[in-house]
Chain A
Amino acid sequence: MTIPSSALGRLLRTPRGLGAAIVLAIIVLAAILAPVIAPYDYAAQNLRNANMDPGALHWLGTDEFGRDLFSRIIYGARTSLAVGVTSISISMVCGMALGAAAGYFGGAFDRVVTMVVDLSWSFPEILLALILIAILGPGLASTMIAISIAYLAQFTRLTRAQVMALKSETYVEATISLGAGSGHVLFRHLLPNAVTPVIVAGMLATGDAIILEATLGFFGLGAQPPTPSWGAMMSSGTAQIFIAPWIIIFPGLAIAITVIAINLFGDALIDALDIRQRLREG
């Protein structure tokens, strides 16, 4: 089960959905084609050109090491999108597996999963991520793991609620009474019907994950230098804010535009699929 093509059509017919889709497509393409688009090596330092104003040579100026800011923002899109998409994908897959098993089998397993999920839900994502990074150590892989775990609870709860609602449907009961095994019921009937709201929630969570990655990067806990990360770029820009404000402004704009585009796309997707009611149940 995926998002129906008719829903995608409806989404792209709204100005909000179309605009968001175009912006997202540009950002994704820029990230994929970064080696082709970026005019300079993102790691190449030229200390004599440090803190250069935006201009013809460096469109968005240079940072405190004389590195081209435009190239670093393009490559930073890779980091942000890779972390956002990968960690939310991991979180979704694991959350769906846990939520589906808990909702379908119930009993003690359900109670344990619900308890653990409720417990982790009681911590803000940033706090949970900081605790996990303190344990795992800073770096890109740790950031992905931390974000995956921080968002696991919401996908588990959503899937569990969907599966519990669906398993009392007549067609599911009929399938079980015909002798179908648990695997068949789960993978052929329950999960395909539960997946759409989860995907939409995942879309919205990706925006949050990008902000979380930027926050961790700002604290120096995400991608380590010279790998560009929008959050880390903003962090180093704070020291230069009075002499080279573009170092903090442009990565900040990149984060804002990306997250707004993702959220608008997610909202438009919810409208197109008419799943607000189902999300609310989650």
Chain B
Amino acid sequence: MKTILKAALFGASLCTLMGSSALAQNATFVLGSREVGAPSYNPIKATRLNAANTFIYDRMVIQDADQSFHGQLATSWEAAADGMSWTFKLRPNVKFHDGEPFNAQTIVWWVPKFKGTENAFMTDAIDKVEVVDDLTVRFVMKTPDPNMLFNMASTFMGVPSPKAFDALGDRYGVAGAVGTGPFKLESFTVGQQTVLVRNDAYNSASALSANKGPAKIARLTIREIAEDSTAFLELRTGGVDMLMSVPTDFLPRLSAERGTKVMTLPGTEVYYMPMNTAVEPFTDIKVREAVAFAVNQKEILDSLFGGVGAVANTFLISGLAESKVDPKLMISYDPSRSRKALDEAGWVAGPDGIRAKGGVKLQVKLWTQNGTEFKRVTEVIQAQLKAVGIGADITIFDAATITAQYRRRTEHQLAVRVYSWANADILDWFHSGKRLGHPNHAMWNDPKSEELNEKAMKGSRTWDERVTNFRAYHEHLLSQFVFAPIYQPVQNFAFSEARLSMPAVIRGTRLQGQTVVDIEVKR
């Protein structure tokens, strides 16, 4: 009897140990507040994806922080000398989460799926995909695309399982999402959380990961918390293990927290303020010039962000060659130029400091999104605009509502926004006449811009030529004052040192799947 009791106790202890060990492999991350509400994990059709997309899907190639490219689903590649074809060797023995094989036929099915979607521009230059053998494909190009590798490394280039994609139809990305990545999607509630479980068959890690096998975390919950301070409190009280993006103004407090570590990556974001050029008073370039030069970037950097990050004087992050424009075209705070432009446009200062013309006050709508940083930047800009005589009424929207409002095209005037992208083709995304309303919030549709855009997007054969063409397009947009650049943040993330072991060096342009496979949960 004693033996049975002992055995039972031993068994129970073992079960408890195994249970706590399994529990210890669980982790909870919080997405950055700007990624809250991304409605789908469909990389082909979605226009907004959160970082967890790279946990589910692998891409052909991924980019490192030094802008170099490394194979993930592709092991090597080669471009023809005339740029009219690209050949990719594919990784062998890769399977999707549903057991389907990944091979050349997958790519033949995948590339044409982009046609007609908002993301089609990334594959537009590809005429057709030819199968060379089961693990080799050749992209036959309509026009040379020097940006091919960058496009293939985009988050939107996660390769889904053809079988699951076709079976789920329009529900794909919400009801299910199947890739080859280190985690399988278990459940997804838009705006709340995504539950992922480890893909035990994972074998397609890139050179950016130290761990070449399955992830160390068994079950990963990705929570969406819109309010940064709430996310901070969750980390502080142990409710979550990592904040994947931390606003700069939280850095002093997080750094002072015992047991919390903050890490930083170079930034890929730019805060900016598009002006709706299709509605009064922003049809007048002088008013746009006045708004652009009324924004005091340095004051925002120093006062709101404690000097962490950099001012933005163009539309692109400073790391890109296309951002090195003629200094005369850079937009940097100059209140006297702003006032002069308004004087020239006939706007005269009124008794309350707000200018007026023909009995109409220079009172404009200034939109922003929920989120502490957005609201703070917007309120400072409201005061800066008032200082030159422009009244601005702030309206705060949630992320989904504001997009719907932009699509109405004439409702908005000014808006404080942020984008995250490390390539000059973002100029096309936000300013092409084909995307008026959203994402072309500036409603910019000018023949010369369209011509320069076309040349940059499709008329470049080599990387250097592409840089020259995009720089010309960028300079033209700057000369037309279709936006006001504001601020370039760095990427910060924070985690509980008691719970997680992070790799010493974070590789890649962002905290994505290649790093998450290396993260270990401490027992």
Contact = CB atoms under 8 A, between A and B. Distances in A.
A251 interface: no
B229 A241 contact: yes
A82 B230 CA distance: 31
Nearest to B236: A242
B366 to A, nearest CB: 9
A239 B249 contact: yes
Q: Is the interface of A mostly helix, strand, loop or mixed?
A: loop
B395 A64 contact: no
A224 B393 contact: yes
B372 A220 contact: no
Interface stretch (B75-83, B172-180, B186-194, B378-386): B378-386
Interface in B354-385: 370, 372, 375-376, 378-380, 382-383
Contacts of B325: none
Contacts, number: 54
B253 interface: yes
A236 B397 contact: no
Contact of A65 (B253, B379, B397): B379
A35 interface: no
Contacts of A243: 252-253
B383 A65 contact: yes
Interface string A221-234: 10011100000000
A139 B249 contact: no
A45 interface: yes
B53 to A, nearest CB: 28
B396 interface: yes
Interface in A43-87: 43, 45, 47-48, 50, 64-65
B227 A224 contact: no
Nearest to A243: B253
Contacts of A236: 372, 375-376
A116 B229 CA distance: 40
Q: Is the interface of B mostly helix, strand, loop or mixed?
A: helix
Interface in A209-260: 220-221, 224-226, 236, 238-239, 241-243
Nearest to A44: B383
A220 B379 contact: no
A226 B379 contact: yes
B140 to A, nearest CB: 49
A45 B375 CA distance: 14
A138 B395 contact: yes
A192 interface: no
Contacts of B304: 47
Contact of A220 (B229, B375, B393): B375
A239 B374 CA distance: 12
B229 A238 contact: yes
Nearest to B228: A239
B394 interface: yes
Interface residues of B, number: 26
Contacts of B303: 47-48, 50
A137 interface: yes
A50 to B, nearest CB: 6
Interface in B301-327: 302-304
Interface string B198-232: 00000000000000000000000000000111100
Contact of B380 (A47, A138, A139, A242): A47
Nearest to B252: A243
**Chain A interface extent, by class:** 20 to 34
Contact of A225 (B249, B299, B382): B382
A239 B229 contact: yes
B381 to A, nearest CB: 11
Contact of B378 (A45, A48, A139, A225): A225
A139 B394 CA distance: 9
Contacts of B252: 243
A242 B252 CA distance: 11
A224 B396 contact: yes
A65 B380 contact: yes
- In this complex, which of A65, A224, A239, A242 has the most chain B Cβ atoms within 10 angstroms of its Cβ? A239
A239 B253 CA distance: 11
Contact of A64 (B376, B382, B383, B401): B376
Contacts of A139: 395
A139 B303 CA distance: 28
Nearest to B250: A239
Contact of B372 (A50, A65, A239): A239
Given A224-B395, A236-B375, A45 B229 contact: no
A243 B229 CA distance: 12
Contacts of B372: 236, 239
A236 B394 CA distance: 15
Contacts of A238: 227, 229-230
Contacts of A138: 395-397
Given A138-B396, A225-B378, A47 B299 contact: yes
Contacts of A239: 228-229, 249, 372, 376
Interface string B282-314: 000000000000000001001110000000000
B370 A220 contact: yes
B253 A43 contact: no
A45 B393 contact: no
B517 to A, nearest CB: 33
Contacts of A137: 395
Contacts of A45: 379-380, 383
Interface in A116-140: 134, 137-139
A225 B375 contact: yes
B390 to A, nearest CB: 14
Contacts of B382: 225-226
A48 B380 CA distance: 12
Nearest to A238: B229
Contacts of A224: 393-396
Contact of B394 (A47, A225, A241): A225
Contacts of B378: 225
Contact of A43 (B229, B230, B383): B383
Nearest to A139: B395
Given A65-B380, A221-B396, 12 more contacts: A47-B302, A47-B380, A48-B303, A138-B395, A139-B395, A224-B395, A225-B379, A226-B382, A236-B376, A239-B228, A241-B229, A243-B252
6 contacts: A47-B299, A220-B370, A224-B394, A225-B379, A236-B372, A243-B252
Closest 9 CB pairs of A and B: A47-B303, A220-B396, A239-B372, A45-B383, A225-B394, A238-B229, A239-B229, A224-B394, A225-B379
Interface of B: 227-230, 249, 252-253, 299, 302-304, 370, 372, 375-376, 378-380, 382-383, 393-397, 401
